[in-house]
Chain A
Amino acid sequence: MKTTIHIWDLPLRLFHWLLAASVIAAYVTAKLGGELMDWHGRLGIFILGLLLFRIVWGFIGSTHARFSSFFPTFGRVRTYLRGQWQGVGHNPLGAFSVLALLSAVAVQIGTGLFANDDIAFEGPFYHFINKSLSDQLTGWHSLLFNVLLGLVVLHLLAIIFYRWVKKTNLVKPMLTGKKDIPTSLAFELAQQQHTHGVGAFRLIISLLLSSTIAWGVAGGVEKFFPAQAAAPQPSTSSNADF
Chain B
Amino acid sequence: MNKKITLALLLTVSASAAFAGPIEEQIRWRQSAYSYLSWNTSKIKKQVVDSPETFNKDYVAAAANAIAAVANSGLGELYGEGTDKGIGWQESRLKPEFFQKKEEVKTIANSFNIAANELAKVAATGDAATIKTAFGKVTETCKSCHDLIRVKKE
Contacts and interface: CB of A to CB of B under 8 A. Distances in A.
Interface of A: 32-38, 117-120, 135-136, 138-140, 142-143, 234, 236-238
Contacts of A139: 152-154
Contacts of A38: 49
Best-buried of A37, A140, A236 by chain B (most CB within 10 Å): A236
Contact of A136 (B44, B132, B153): B153
A38 B139 CA distance: 12
B102 to A, nearest CB: 22
Interface in B38-95: 38, 41-47, 49, 54, 56, 58-59, 62
Contact of B142 (A35, A119, A138, A142): A119
B136 interface: yes
A117 B136 contact: no
Given A38-B49, A234-B46, A119 B153 contact: no
Interface in B98-146: 132-133, 135-137, 139-140, 142-144, 146
A33 B154 contact: no
Nearest to A117: B143
Contacts of A35: 132-133, 135-137, 139-140
Given A33-B139, A142-B152, A118 B38 contact: yes
A143 B153 CA distance: 10
B59 A236 contact: yes
Contact of A140 (B41, B140, B154): B154
A237 B143 contact: no
A135 to B, nearest CB: 5
A240 to B, nearest CB: 8
A36 to B, nearest CB: 8
